[in-house]
Structure 1
Amino acid sequence: MKRMILVIMMMCVVYSINAQERKVLNIPDSVSIIEQTAHNGQKFNGLLEDLNMGQLYDLYKLDVCRFYELDEYDTELKRKAFKSTPEGQRLTKELGTRKQKIMNSKLYYIFPFSANWGWTKEYNLKTRTFDFSYIIDDDEFIPVQEYVNFRQLLIKCNPAIKQYRKKRYNPNTDRYSYLNTLKIPMSEKIALPIEENIEDLALVVEFKIQNMKYTQRQVAIFNLTTCCLQGISTKVYIIDKSTNEIYFSL
């Protein structure tokens, strides 16, 4: 009888430990969401649904003609004249309302560890940091002191997170890129379950939009523009992609 009671008590302890689930990060549809994909692209959801980075830039600048693809207004003068018309004022007000909602909301950048194209994603015993590496093309990279770079994003994160970059040259494309590595400080105890479940987890950066920037490069006779979003982080997480359970936060 005593043996049975002891077994039951042990089972209750195990159940109690398992029942203490991790906290869950709530990311509602009413916020702005950018998710990195394995094919170098990004998915925009929430308040950013149906947009891309170029459209977000036009929205941020309240560039009505470019945002709504009003191609007949193909000069600065024509665009200025259109914005002073009743229709132009209506569309500008509409765009301004949408911009304000986005600016007032939190923005979540989600980077699944499985989408870093096979680069480093493991704990570094020497530096006691979780190291996460990924490639950024040179036209999507704007170096700003104290800001962390992602694809078409630069975000000011907790200064404990360090960024190291290595410039690379591809002779096949005659293009440069950067191998960017984030070093996120954490203990071995926290890092072990992250490594054990790495393919199911994602880095999440919660931030507020601060500005929009752009880079340009010449290709033949064309001048190609790439838009980049700048922001200030309020929190960095590592979560389960399916359940949003939090493995780490800083």
Structure 2
Amino acid sequence: MLITYALTTGAMLKGRIKRIPGNVFRLHRRSGIYFGAFILGSFIYGLLMRLQHGEPVLSSVHGKLGLIIVLIVILQIIPSLVLKNRASYRGLHKIMGYSLAPILFVDASWGLYNGVTQGTKSLVLLHSISGGLVALALVWVLLEVRYPADRSLTRVRIASYFATLLVIAGCWLAGGYNYLTVYGSRIKPVILEGPYPWAHEIIMEAKEHVFVFLPVIALALSLTLYVLDRDTFLNDVSFRRALGTTAYLALFMVLLMFLMGAIISNTGKIGAEV
């Protein structure tokens, strides 16, 4: 939420999306500081937990990405607070800000996957990371629809195409292949014989239905934006509201699949230990 707020206000300051009334710079700076403090605190907490359990520090990809995120946050916040002439630093600040969001989503997806499954099967990892990036792209769509500017239609099309590609390739194909080749023969029997068979009987059954409809919704959103003209996008509020509702639905389904996937993976791990 904090990074979304920081990116939104930053885009408003740059003129990429419609600006809201009030002191946007103050909001941007405040959200950036809060976000930086949260990231730094999370990183320190993670280091302390690994040291407490006697585990190697920064040996995993998740830990190294976390260090990169912390360095980017520090390089963003400290100079912007210290330097009086921010014009020379503004370009680098913008690049780091836009690069921070996808790295953070990848790291969060990686950490969630490892924390639940304690493994790094490539297809499941690709499935998880794709879901995180799809969520980021859909947030981008929502921001462009909510605060439209002159070039918003071009950017929202790119974001929707990116989301649809990842949904089909990463979520649908990779996830579906893993379901057919690994889950059905190895994980499903373990869950059904374990203490929580409802994880497959209810959660996985529900996820399968979401799995079928999510690419259809993402593709419908992309096709609608492809045929939409600029004047309608900028001037028709009800049309943008419909686009936003569709994007919200897709985002909700992605986050729901994240939650259901975590539950299923965790119950599979518990079943294997029983």
TM-score of the pair, normalised by structure 2? 0.22
Structure index of larger Rg: 1
Greater percentage in strand: 1
Greater percentage in helix: 2
TM-score of the pair, normalised by structure 1? 0.23
